[in-house]
Amino acid sequence: MSEYTAVITGGNKGIGADLAADMTARGWKVISLARHPGEAAEVEHVICDLSDPAAVAQAAADVAAKHEVTHFIHNAGIILPNLIEDARPDEMLALTQLHLASALTLAQAFLPAMKARGFGRILFNASRAALGAKTRTAYSASKAGMIGMARTWALELAEHGITVNVVAPGPILTDNFWGIVPKGSDQEADLAKRIPVGRLGTVRDVTRTFMFLADPDAGFITGQTLFVCGGASIGTVPI
């Protein structure tokens, strides 16, 4: 039996799937919660629509009943870009459920096992857009909410050996990015030039950061947000 069990939302593709591969390579048990199964046979795929509160509650209860979860990584997310004139309140509600409320429901289910063990790692995949970005009214608000929620949880859970941290990527070459910026386009090349390090981020850049914070030895880091953005959070705002 693996010493560690990780639940990754959106662990079926992109950053989530890459992270799952690194964790399974360490011998950890990994469970992905997503609307669709991934291809990795070594990952347990639980089908769950995180935008549905009832479905999340059921999945949380089922997973917690079967596994003593030590790591919870809330990675799943969507953008719903719109300028302020076109932004809608229902988009704000949808992303609040996906990015924040579903995380709360899942964490509440996994915390008893973490507290009993005196160990846990809770990680959020937020965004540099939490600092502000055009067309990101609902997205930036919910991602900024992750940072505030993580800092609160970090204070409440530190005494139990549970750390809570946030990874905030900048522009990363994923399907979400290419859904807004055409792949291989002049726009993509221009964005890369405007990043201080001179390139766009990769899935591996983000996975390495998650693995650092997920490490059992990273117990003196909590309540922190680590921007994986090539310097975009301190320099030119790319998008």
How far apart CA 102 and CA 48 sit, in angstroms, is 11
Convert the pLDDT of each residue in 109-165 to its tens digit: 999 999 999 999 999 999 999 999 999 999 999 999 999 999 999 999 999 999 999
Amino acid found at 113:
A
pLDDT at 40: 93
pLDDT at 175: 79
Are 201 and 173 in contact by the 8 Å Cβ rule? The answer is: yes
Are 200 and 173 in contact by the 8 Å Cβ rule? The answer is: yes
pLDDT at 235: 72
Per-residue pLDDT for 238 more than 50?
no
Mean pLDDT computed over every residue of the chain: 94
Domains present along the chain, CATH in parentheses: 5-171+202-225 (3.40.50.720)
pTM score, whole prediction = 0.94
How far apart CA 194 and CA 137 sit, in angstroms, is 22
H-run or E-run covering 31: strand 29-34
Are 98 and 50 in contact by the 8 Å Cβ rule? The answer is: yes
Annotation marks residue 139 as catalytic: yes
Mean pLDDT along residues 164-174: 93
Are 106 and 196 in contact by the 8 Å Cβ rule? The answer is: no
What are 108's two structure tokens?
């509440």
In sequence order, the β-bridge partners of residue 125 are 167
How far apart CA 29 and CA 27 sit, in angstroms, is 7
Choose the catalytic residue: 72, 139, 177, 210: 139
Name which of 82-86, 112-116, 192-196, 215-219 the model is least confident about: 192-196
Contacts of 8 (CB under 8 A, 6+ apart): 16, 19, 20, 23, 30, 31, 32, 33, 73, 75
Convert the pLDDT of each residue in 198-212 to its tens digit: 999 999 999 999 999
